[in-house]
Amino acid sequence: MRTYTSATQKEVVKTLLQMGILCVEEHSVHNLYCDICIPDLGKYRAAFGIDDFIPVTAKNIIIELHGFQHFLRNTHTVKGGSLLKKKLLRLDNYHYYYIPIDQW
């Protein structure tokens, strides 16, 4: 499958790397392509104090950047496909975040 990397996604990855956070672009989890994955959460827990808002059972963080195609027309309601992807990833102990592109 061919993936598309947006300029915004590249900017987010660049920011994470500048913060010293290793991340992987277009990461595949059970054939679900994710924009950005932050693997091996353990080494970031102490440095960033993330235990308060990320479950200890989470093994990785997934960050998805949502453009207009991820929302129902003229709303900020996320479409079903994106919600299903979030649910499947959370069932596999990934902590999932999405960032609306217009809010980055």
Task: Report the DSSP beta bridge partners of residue 38.
Answer: 61
Tell me the HSE value of 20 on the side-chain side, using a 13 A CA sphere. 4
Q: How confident is the prediction along the chain (104 residues), in pLDDT tens digits per residue?
A: 556 678 888 999 999 889 888 888 888 888 888 889 988 766 666 666 665 666 666 678 899 888 778 788 888 888 888 888 889 998 888 888 888 888 87
Q: What is the pLDDT of residue 31?
A: 86
CATH class for the domain made up of 7-103: alpha beta
What distance in Å separates the CA atoms of residue 4 and residue 47, rounded to the nearest whole number?
A: 32
Q: What is the pLDDT of residue 14?
A: 93
- Does the pTM surpass 0.85? The reply is no
- Nearest C-alpha neighbor of 83 from the set 91, 25, 6: 91
